[in-house]
Amino acid sequence: MDGVRPDAPRREFDLAGAKQVLASTPNVLRAWLAGLDAGWTRTNYGADTFSPFDVVGHLIHGEQADWIPRARRILEHGETKPFEPFDRFAMRAESEGRTLAELLDEFERLRAESLRELDRFALAERDLDRAGTHPAFGRVTLRELLATWVVHDLNHVHQIAKCLASQYRDEVGPWRAYLPLLSHDRARD
């Protein structure tokens, strides 16, 4: 069987590889979501879940208030000045009255700016071990922050897939047993 074995070694963090994934996310979202009607993009799959529209707004807010601002805080202040708390739901007010096309454009622009800023940091390997203070987790490293940024993108791509798939959860009939994407177990998101 092809695929990754559960006991296979995992990839170590590599900034160039991380930037590849981060740079691809706006294109993935645009290719997947642009032109879909609101039935696909404005519907979530359960209480306290995000619709695809919400996800794009959330990613925009992350570009503005999370990844680069926190990386800068680590580089400038280390552990002496904790990160500002992040409002996971800020996108609800910030995206109100906007179209998905507008959000996709803004996300693409902001992500490009974030990646240019990341390049301007001119990070050396030793910089990745510099630490900051997260309001809930305490000490975190720049490496952990940047790895989380990548996995955060991938988590939300998965969440979008789950939202889209859930639209047909009752239409797939008995095949639902073979489609784990249709699970509503929030712990698996």
Domains along the chain with CATH numbers? 15-188 (1.20.120.450)
Q: Tens digit of pLDDT for each residue in 41-63? A: 999 988 888 999 999 999 999 99
Q: First vs last Cα of the chain: how many Å apart?
A: 25
How much is the average pLDDT of 145-153? Answer: 98
**Top-confidence residue, 2 or 177:** 177
**Top-confidence residue, 186 or 61:** 61
Contact criterion met (CB below 8 Å) for 55 and 49: no
Rounded to whole angstroms, the Cα distance separating 138 from 145 reads 12
Residue 186 has pLDDT above 50, yes or no: no
Paired with 134 in beta bridges are 138
pLDDT at residue 183 in the model: 76
Model confidence at 5, in pLDDT bands (50, 70, 90)?
low
Residue 187 has pLDDT above 70, yes or no: no
| Residue 49 CB neighbours (<10 A) | 17
pLDDT at residue 45 in the model: 87
pLDDT at residue 184 in the model: 62
